[in-house]
Structure 1
Amino acid sequence: MQVLNYIPVPLVFIEPDWNIVAYSSEVAVQFSLSSSLLDWTDEESKRKLQRLIVPKSTQKIELNLIHKDGTLHLYDIYQKWQEDRYGYLILMEKEQSSQRLSFQLQQLRQQLLAPPEQRKQPEIGKPVDPQIEELASKLQWMEDLFLQIQPDLLEDRKAHFISQIFLHLKDAKTIIKNLEVKNKSQ
């Protein structure tokens, strides 16, 4: 594998099996040393990568890629293939707001994947505040939505899913702030 120091853009040179032949120094700063593009790709994005980054494709795609520090970042991937032998990928990181969303989605995904016994359960017999019940309902709704998001569906209905997530996150934040105020006054 070769680092191309003279290329001023984040460029990756790959083979059809996604093995990395070379990459620019811009890429070397962000990603760990690896022989495969799959190693930099989030688990949920791997199928999408395998389906859409293929010889003869010129389609721009979005993928979640993992930086050296383990954080997820959303990228636009532009591809150009030289016959069926080599692909040139330009990796353009999305805006900061998209990065924050990716980070929040990563945190929520980790929480959702936690074993049930590690999730905090309410004590039986304690009266439950109606705001807590509403918050639980909002969070359950978001969990159900996250379980429905599949890589192939994400592209088709991304705007709808994201707007619904933000709406429920905003409601959940309001409930949490109200509970904080309520607890401080007690």
Structure 2
Amino acid sequence: MEDKQLPVPYFKVNLHYQILACSSPAADLFAASGSWLSFIDEGSLNKARTYISPDHTDQRVELILKTRSAQVLPFEVYQHWDEEECGHLVCISRDKQYKAVAERLERLHENLENGMYEPAVRQAGSARSYLSASHTLNRELCSVLETVKDLLDQVHPSLVEIHQTDYSDIIRQLIDTALKNASREMY
């Protein structure tokens, strides 16, 4: 199969990140350029130079890339370097997963802000109805926390690579504590 026919964004680069070939989806997604580094967002540039290399062949690296539409998006870059010191890079967008989490959090925030759960609790009248409404809210909060934890798990390997896991470890501990407390309240 020719490089252009690959069904995913693919680049063949040399050690200096000059683009030697690319797939049609890559050409459609990214603006024409001679250097693969021109697609890397400034905040990910050092990480790309460090971890996209023959020393890290067959490792996945999460980077923020600039697309043709000037939108910056998270990508997982899968790399393999051959004996001719050419890098074969496949760039898979993580945008849909991040957007899904952000949308769920936004909906929950709006629901809480608009008091969507309060009327059910106020109208409940009985302790049983109150507990049912409380249980529903608790389940939704747990679901959102699990989603945030999943997102954190996706970002964590990239943070390990740059030795910056302190905050993610703290966030993970807080989520685990909140989930533990929420499960105790539900049962």
Give TM-score, length-normalised by structure 2.
Answer: 0.53
User: Structure 1 counterpart of 2:88, which letter?
Assistant: Y
Residue in structure 2 matched with residue 152 of structure 1 by the alignment: 162
Question: How far apart are residue 159 of structure 1 and its match?
Answer: 3.4
Hey, which bits of structure 1, 4+ residues long, moved more than 4 A? 99-102, 160-163
Check whether the contact 1:55–1:84 (CA below 8 A) recurs between aligned residues: no
Check whether the contact 1:16–1:84 (CA below 8 A) recurs between aligned residues: no
Question: How far apart are residue 29 of structure 1 and its match?
Answer: 1.1
- For 1:66 and 1:55, the matched residues in 2 are separated by 23
- 1:80-116 per-residue CA deviation (whole Å, 9 max, x = no partner) reads 01125201011111142425899xxxxxxxxxxxxxx
Superposition pairs of residues 49-128 of structure 1, within 5 angstroms: 49-57=48-56, 58-98=58-98
Residue in structure 2 matched with residue 42 of structure 1 by the alignment: 41
Question: How far apart are residue 160 of structure 1 and its match?
Answer: 4.8
Identity of aligned residues (%): 26
Give TM-score, length-normalised by structure 1.
Answer: 0.53
Which structure: larger Rg? 2
User: Structure 2 counterpart of 1:31, which letter?
Assistant: F
- For 1:21 and 1:33, the matched residues in 2 are separated by 12
* Larger relative helix fraction: 2
- For 2:40 and 2:47, the matched residues in 1 are separated by 10
Residue in structure 1 matched with residue 8 of structure 2 by the alignment: 9
Check whether the contact 1:62–1:76 (CA below 8 A) recurs between aligned residues: yes
Q: How many matched pairs?
A: 115
User: Structure 2 counterpart of 1:80, which letter?
Assistant: H
- For 2:73 and 2:27, the matched residues in 1 are separated by 15
**Ranges in structure 2 where 5+ consecutive residues have no aligned partner:** 103-158, 173-187
